[in-house]
Amino acid sequence: MRSSIGYWGLGLLVLLLQPLQAQRGWEAGAWGGTALYLGDLNTNFDLSMPGWFGGSMFRYNFNERIAMRLAANAGYIHADDAISSNPFERARNLSFQSNLFEGSAALEFNFLPYIHGSRDNFFTPYLLLGFNIVHFNPKAAYNGSLVELRPLGTEGQFKGEEYYTVTSGFLYGMGLKFDLSYRWSVNLELSARGLSTDYLDDVSTVYPEKDDLLRNRGAMAVALADRSISIDGVEGPIGSPGRQRGDARSNDSYVFLGIGFMYYFGDLRCPEYSKR
């Protein structure tokens, strides 16, 4: 096992250190598209409530096979139990929405040699691996207004022990890039973020004791912690203390499906002067 990992590491080092071709240099651009949340309020990969995202991207090409990129994105995600095909989730009747503000860093691995301006190597599929940092803030509609859920401690969190609204994640995906001209290229990409939190949607564990929640957080916290309704086929009450509200065994995630336009600056190093 160790030897195989060593071979992969050596291979990556060789690719990074091999003589650099015309592909070397910086790119910058913008991209945007659809954002999709996956978590306790979307357990069946329902695609009917897409959000959106947009952002900027900077890429440095080490050679025709490997590039490093940085990105800054903003987005919006939401979900609603009311549209779920799962009877328990419809009876739970929770919903949320959140803005996302994300920074990420990743390596791109091109399947084919990719060189700007080449008539033969002007496109390639690629894989993407990296990490992200994201700020989120789940809210829910209540009496005609949007209410922040974290300060309410909807799962019985004590004051000062609420979950963080900044978290990290593992970024992975795949895409296709191709030239429009020597300077301009298009990227089509599907990428996911597996997060280090299960509270992207404010749902993770069990229903709290309502008397304690009322005393510590107030009536609005009680109302938004348990919004369950009666439906056929589900034994109630759903919101009894200690009963499952979410599933803490797996963390939340979200997916970006987008298109980006990149401008290639080329190698911007200072020219080398020979000594005479």
Tens-place pLDDT, residues 72-128 = 999 999 999 999 999 999 999 999 999 999 999 999 999 999 999 899 999 999 999
- Check residue 95 and give its pLDDT: 98
| Choices 3.10.350.10, 2.40.160.20, 3.40.50.2300, 1.10.3720.10: CATH for 23-266 | 2.40.160.20
pLDDT of residue 237: 81
Q: What is the pLDDT of residue 24?
A: 87
Structure tokens at 102: 């994300």
Contact 98, 147 (CB under 8 A): no
* Res 233: pLDDT: 83
Element (H, E) at 267: none
- CB 202, CB 153: distance < 8 Å: no
Tracing tokens 């190597």 back to the chain, one arrives at 121
pLDDT tens readout for residues 10-29 = 444 444 445 444 578 999 99
Q: pLDDT above 70 covers what percent of the chain?
A: 88
Find all residues with CB under 8 Å of 18, minimum gap 6, and list them.
Answer: 63
How do 25-38 and 52-61 pair as beta strands?
Answer: antiparallel
pLDDT score for 180: 95
Task: Provide the mean pLDDT of the chain.
Answer: 90
| CA atoms of 138 and 94, how far apart (whole Å) | 12
Which pairing describes strands 52-61 and 139-142: parallel, antiparallel, or unpaired? Answer: unpaired
- The values of phi and psi at residue 238, to 5°, are -65, -40
What are the tens digits of pLDDT across the range 237-249?
A: 899 999 999 999 9
* Contact partners, residue 58, CB within 8 Å, separation at least 6: 26, 27, 28, 69, 70, 71
Please report, for the chain, the start and end positions of each structural domain, with discontinuous segments joined by +. 23-266
Residue 123 to residue 69: CA distance in whole angstroms = 18
Higher pLDDT, 276 or 107: 107
Q: How far is CA 38 from CA 48, 73, 107, in A?
A: 12, 18, 24
* Contact (CB, 8 A) for 25 and 69: no
CA distance 171 to 54: 16
Dihedral pair phi/psi, residue 9, rounded to 5°: -65, -40
Average pLDDT over residues 33-38: 98
Amino acid at 50: P
CA distances, 147 to each of 12, 72, 143, 150, 223 (Å): 48, 26, 9, 9, 11
For residues 144-178, one letter each, b for 16 or more C-beta atoms within 10 angstroms of the residue's C-beta and e for the rest, the string is eeebebbebbbbbbeeeebbebebebebebebebe
CB neighbour burial string for 188-225, b if at least 16 within 10 angstroms, e if fewer: bbebbbbbebbbbbbbbbebbebeebbebbeeebbbbb
Which pLDDT score, from 0 to 100, does residue 78 have?
Answer: 98
Q: Please, which residues bridge with residue 2 across strands?
A: none
